Amino acid sequence: MSTENLKESEPVEPGSLTFAAVTRPIDPAWAWVPYQPDAQHPWSLAQAGHLYRRAAFGANWDQLQQALADGPQKTIDRLLKPQADVPAFNRAEDQFDDSAAGSDSADSLRAWWLRRMIHTPHPLLEKMTLFWHNYFAVSNDRVKNGKLMQQHVALLREHALGSFRPLLKAIVHDPAVLLSAGNASSRKANPNDGLPRILLEEYTLGSKQCDEKDIAEAARAFTGQFVLRGALQSIPREHDDGRKLILGQEGNFTGDDVVQIALDHPKTPRRLVRKLYEWFLSETESPCEALVEPLVASLGPSYDVMKLVETILRSNLFFSSIAYRQRIKSPVEFALGMIHALEAMVSTTQLAQDLSGLGQNLYHPPTIKGWTGGRHWINTASLAGRNNLAVALLQGSGAYGGSINPQRLSLNHQRSTVQSATQFMLDLFIQNDLPTTVRDGLLDGLPDTSSTVKTDFDAIVRQSALSIVTLAEYHLA
């Protein structure tokens, strides 16, 4: 890999909006080395915004300023291990989840999760919980039990930044997963291949990495496992304790053994790394094997997810143009980015409904493959829907009321004219990184407000904020 190649991929050019596959070769030795700002590649507001979009759900102004002052590595330290008492926060939030899980619906749970995403002192943990929710794609459409869904997401959160090994071992015994996989019962006379198929094809090796015989044998290993009245029960007499041949290994395997075999298979860590690459770095480019291998090594045999995420977030590649704005925000990221930036709290019951309308219904991934994401988030209808949601959030009345108030925030940060408030919104939402012509058009179109009354100022700042969050740049993560 030449130095020229490396340099080509490095800079983040302000105003660049390149959502196309990058085919340039990338030097792995450069890619995963921690990013150190220098004169050529300085740490900037754009970089800070990029970091918070990927490792959190956006940032407010104080967080951006703190990140600017602290530099990338210290900011990443804080995102990985916040100083706040995260367990205490989550214990308190878990109580709200407990109360919401009493019904068969997950509607209240969705609202509480969104609220937790907004309030959490550890947004990376929630971001990773969302990642695993998409990864395992357990839907209450199939589970139909709020309590089990609550326990499932709590399990994801518990292991979100831990090791994939214990997480996967717990997943195959999670009643919600079994119900979602259509695996409520599996008898030795009629082994159910629902869970084994998903385990091998979706959770570990990937599709076409094993044959039907492997899945049938794995199904025999999982026999004797039942979900009865919402609880997992093992009935030994229904377990097939004969010898099985799975992925070339032979033995008297149980379900746990199948998990172990799948985890030890070389395809599994590579698949997980690629999923995390897509989640944190880029949806537009599939990394080559050479680029993946160092990450597989970082993950290690213990499947240390935290270490892998840390490697990605600190890397040169993460702060390069190969990653910058190379993802489309999911509806959750789109909405929470606004709410975070404007330091507001809204009705999350309403927000959950609106996000569902945009295609991201939490607790209800559409298929066993989760949300397709990427370009699929955007089509003519969903783009109009996103704009409508932005209008609803920013209009100061209606379903979300007046809790979001860009004017008040601007004044709090000493931006008391329409021009300065609009510039502030540009910095806040997209770190002022957009083509000059667009920016100038936005600012030049503002009225002279030296004598504008309060209500007009409010309306103009709301309109400016709306104009910014409906720009193409804001839809990119």
Partner 1 sequence: MSRTVRFSLGLWFSLLVGQAVAQAPAIPPATSWIPQDAVICLEISHPKALLDILAGDKMTAKVTSLPLYQKLTANPGFLGVTNLIRFLETSLDTDWRTGLGKLTGGGITFAVCPKDTVLLIVDAEDQRMLERTHDFLRTMVQSDAQGKGLPDPVASAEYLGVTGWSFNGKESHAIVGNRFILSNNPEGLKGVLDLRNQTADQSFATVPDYAAAKKTIEQNSIASAFVNLGPIKGIPGIEKALSQGKSNPLAALFFSGMIEAIRNSQWLAAGLYIQDQTLDLRAAVNGKPVDPDGPAGFAMPQQSGEGALPNLVVPRQIAAMSFYRDLHRFYAAKDDLFPERTSSLIFFENMMGIFFSGRDLTDEVLVEARPHMRFVVAEQEYDPAIGTPQIRIPAFAMILQLRDQEQFDEIVEEAWQKAVGLINFTRGQQAMPGLIIDRPIHNGAKFTVAYFSTAGLKDKTNLHNRFNFCPSLAMPGDYLILSSSDGLARNLIDAQKQEAAQSVKPLAGKHSLVELDGIQLSSILQSNYDNLVRKNMIDKGNTQLDAEASIDLFVTLTKLVKHLGLSMGTQDRLTEAQLKVELNLP
Residue closer to partner 1, measured from CB, 64 or 143:
143
Residue closer to partner 1, measured from CB, 181 or 317:
181
Minimum Å distance from CB 346 to partner 1?
4
Residue closer to partner 1, measured from CB, 99 or 286:
99
Residue closer to partner 1, measured from CB, 69 or 345:
345
Minimum Å distance from CB 198 to partner 1?
21
Binding site for partner 1 (CB under 8 A): 96, 99-100, 102-103, 108, 111-112, 115, 144, 184, 228-230, 344-350, 400-401, 403, 451, 453-454
Minimum Å distance from CB 462 to partner 1?
17
Three-state secondary structure along the chain?
Answer: CCHHHHHHHCCCCCCCCCCCCCCCCCCHHHHCCECCCCCCCCCCHHHHHHHHHHHCCCCCHHHHHHHHHHCHHHHHHHHHCCCCCHHHHHHHHHHHHHHHCCCCCCHHHHHHHHHHHHHCCCHHHHHHHHHHHHHHCCCHHHHCCHHHHHHHHHHHHHHCCCEHHHHHHHHCCCHHHHHHCCCCCCECCECCCHHHHHHHHHHCCCCCCCCHHHHHHHHHHCCCEEEECCEEEECHHHCCCCCEEECCEEECCCHHHHHHHHHHCCHHHHHHHHHHHHHHCCCCCCCCHHHHHHHHHHHCCCCEHHHHHHHHHHECCCCCCCCCCCCECCHHHHHHHHHHHCCCCCCHHHHHHHHHHCCCCCCCCCCCCCCCCHHHHCCHHHHHHHHHHHHHHHCCCHHHCCCCCHHHHHHHCCCCCHHHHHHHHHHHHHCCCCCHHHHHHHHHCCCCCCCCCHHHHHHHHHHHHHHHHCCHHHHEC
Minimum Å distance from CB 250 to partner 1?
36
Minimum Å distance from CB 111 to partner 1?
4
Residue closer to partner 1, measured from CB, 102 or 242:
102
Minimum Å distance from CB 401 to partner 1?
8
Minimum Å distance from CB 306 to partner 1?
30
